[in-house]
Chains A and B, each alone.
Chain A
Amino acid sequence: MNGKERVLRALNFEKLDRAPWVPYSGVQTGNLMGMDAETYLKNADNIVAGIEKAYELYKPDGLPIVFDIQVEAEAIGCQLQWSKNNPPAVRTHILDQVPLEDLKIPSKDDGRYPIVLEAAEKLVKSIGDEVALYSLICGPFTLALHLRGTEFFTEMIEEPDKAKELLRYCTEVGKELSRLYGTTGVPIVAVVDPMVSQISPRHFKKFVTPYLEDLNTYVKSLGMKVTTFCCGDATKNLDLMCQTNTDGIAFDENIDLAFAKEVASKHKVSFAGNLPLTTVMLFGSPRENVEEAQKALDVGGVQGFILSPG
């Protein structure tokens, strides 16, 4: 069984010989190439070379192609702020300048879409038979924040219909980018929605569940696997995440792995995590990293678990 098969089977919640290893080699991969984030993320060949290097160094079963969930917001018209060692951050919110009805769904020629799609196509050809490539898209809730800014939280309370209209648009954006990734042959869409840790289960049911479920169902209809990434302490919403017709959930160190395993296993959903990013991966010794990975593998087991950074 190769890495790709192992990841796809984990996403089917099958029992395996061992848990797959999927390091989220994002902007750090640019570092491997001696490049800053902007140079790396604005050129398809740099991304391809970086991911191929990560494949060689980390011996992974799966890898994300581009870990940058600002791609959609940029293509829609938000200005980004680039920094050296991080993915870009959204600095202007397009809905401050343009009404929602004037926004279009970005197509393959908008923003950095041509770059990420070209990178995906090339990587599918070079390493896509052996390693499970993940195409990352921005989840509807986080994209709504990118487009509207923090006023979106107020809107959820005071003008819920307006908030839902924006979420419907964001869902369509996600569907289209998933479809475009699907044409490259990438087998997995990871819907990255970090902001879902910031709301209550009541708001999750109202403002996340319908849209994620719609998006996940669409991705599956394309013949792809779909997994849902959060970050922060989303413990309260983890069960709800599993109920969005997803194949998997991924989370960071703020969530207890044993708890996540219990919740995900109940729904027969794959679960991925959660090596501590700063205390262990950034400041820990190689030995401490190995020990932490071993602990996670012991807890996660070999059915549905994918070992990943948090």
Chain B
Amino acid sequence: MDEEEATEEEIKEVVIEPGKAFIEIVTLDSEGCPPCQYMCETVRKVEDRYGEKLKWRETLVKTRAGIKRMGQLGVKNLPALLINNDVVFDNIIPTEKELVEEINKRL
């Protein structure tokens, strides 16, 4: 699992590397919000096929750092799925196929 923990202190900027995709899912909390949970689950279902080429993390807006990050990214709705800092799925959970297509475009 390449999931990175988003902390209260600081949320690191996403570094975009050529040939790689970084997914950031901005959520209320995937433990208590079904739409957030299922958006994360869609990513978990495809992550194995990409190995080192795909990293992802969940950014919770239940922290001040998360709220700040949401503003920086221009995210308006939750949950939102970003790939390489672009909002790609805004309050719409993609199918596996749709997600794979969007990841592949960026590799």
Task: List chain A positions with a Cβ less than 8 A from chain B.
Answer: 27, 69, 81, 83, 86-87, 89-90, 142, 145-146, 149-151, 153-154, 157, 194-195, 197-200, 231-233, 254, 277-279, 282-283
Is A154 a contact partner of B95 (Cβ separation < 8 A)? yes
B residues within 8 A CB of A254? 77-78, 91
Is A86 a contact partner of B29 (Cβ separation < 8 A)? yes
Is B31 a contact partner of A278 (Cβ separation < 8 A)? no
A residues within 8 A CB of B64? 283
Is B37 a contact partner of A231 (Cβ separation < 8 A)? no
Interface size class of chain B, counting residues whose CB lies under 8 Å from the partner chain: 20 to 34
Q: Which of A146, A198, A277 contacts B91 (CB 8 A)?
A: A198
Separation in Å of the B77 CB from the closest CB of chain A?
Answer: 4
Q: How far, in whole Å, are A86 and B33 apart by their CA atoms in the complex?
A: 9
A residues within 8 A CB of B77? 232-233, 254
A residues within 8 A CB of B78? 232, 254
Q: How far, in whole Å, are A279 and B68 apart by their CA atoms in the complex?
A: 11
Q: Which of A89, A142, A278 contacts B32 (CB 8 A)?
A: A89
Separation in Å of the B76 CB from the closest CB of chain A?
Answer: 8
Q: How far, in whole Å, are A27 and B31 apart by their CA atoms in the complex?
A: 12
Q: Which residue, A142, A199, A278, has most C-beta atoms of chain B within 10 A?
A: A278
Separation in Å of the A87 CB from the closest CB of chain B?
Answer: 6
Q: How far, in whole Å, are A57 and B79 apart by their CA atoms in the complex?
A: 32
Q: Which of B28, B30, B45, B76 contacts A89 (CB 8 A)?
A: B30
In the A-B complex, the 3 residue pairs with the smallest Cβ-Cβ separation, listed nearest first, are: A86-B32, A233-B77, A86-B31
> Does B93 make an interface contact (CB < 8 A)?
yes
Is A145 a contact partner of B95 (Cβ separation < 8 A)? no
> Does B105 make an interface contact (CB < 8 A)?
no
> Does B61 make an interface contact (CB < 8 A)?
yes
Binary CB contact string for chain B from 29 to 72 against chain A (1 if under 8 A, 0 otherwise): 11111110110011001000000000000000110100100000
Dominant SS at the B interface?
Answer: loop
Q: How far, in whole Å, are A81 and B96 apart by their CA atoms in the complex?
A: 23
Is B93 a contact partner of A194 (Cβ separation < 8 A)? no
Is B93 a contact partner of A89 (Cβ separation < 8 A)? no
B residues within 8 A CB of A200? 92
Q: How far, in whole Å, are A68 and B51 apart by their CA atoms in the complex?
A: 35
Closest to A193 in B: B34
Q: Which of A89, A142, A154, A233 contacts B96 (CB 8 A)?
A: A154
Is B67 a contact partner of A89 (Cβ separation < 8 A)? no
Is A277 a contact partner of B28 (Cβ separation < 8 A)? yes
A-B contact pairs, 16 of them (CB 8 A): A83-B31, A83-B32, A89-B30, A89-B31, A142-B34, A150-B42, A150-B95, A150-B96, A194-B35, A197-B91, A198-B92, A198-B93, A231-B35, A277-B28, A282-B62, A283-B67
> Does B12 make an interface contact (CB < 8 A)?
no
Is A232 a contact partner of B96 (Cβ separation < 8 A)? no
Q: How far, in whole Å, are A145 and B28 apart by their CA atoms in the complex?
A: 18
Closest to B77 in A: A233
Is B35 a contact partner of A198 (Cβ separation < 8 A)? yes
Q: Which of B33, B61, B94, B96 contacts A231 (CB 8 A)?
A: B33
Closest to B45 in A: A150
Is A157 a contact partner of B34 (Cβ separation < 8 A)? no
B residues within 8 A CB of A157? 95
Known: A149-B41, A278-B67. 7 other contacts (CB 8 A): A90-B34, A149-B38, A150-B38, A194-B34, A198-B35, A199-B92, A232-B91
B residues within 8 A CB of A277? 28
Separation in Å of the B20 CB from the closest CB of chain A?
Answer: 23
A residues within 8 A CB of B42? 150
Q: Which residue, A69, A198, A254, has most C-beta atoms of chain B within 10 A?
A: A198
Separation in Å of the A170 CB from the closest CB of chain B?
Answer: 14
Separation in Å of the A298 CB from the closest CB of chain B?
Answer: 24
Separation in Å of the B59 CB from the closest CB of chain A?
Answer: 12
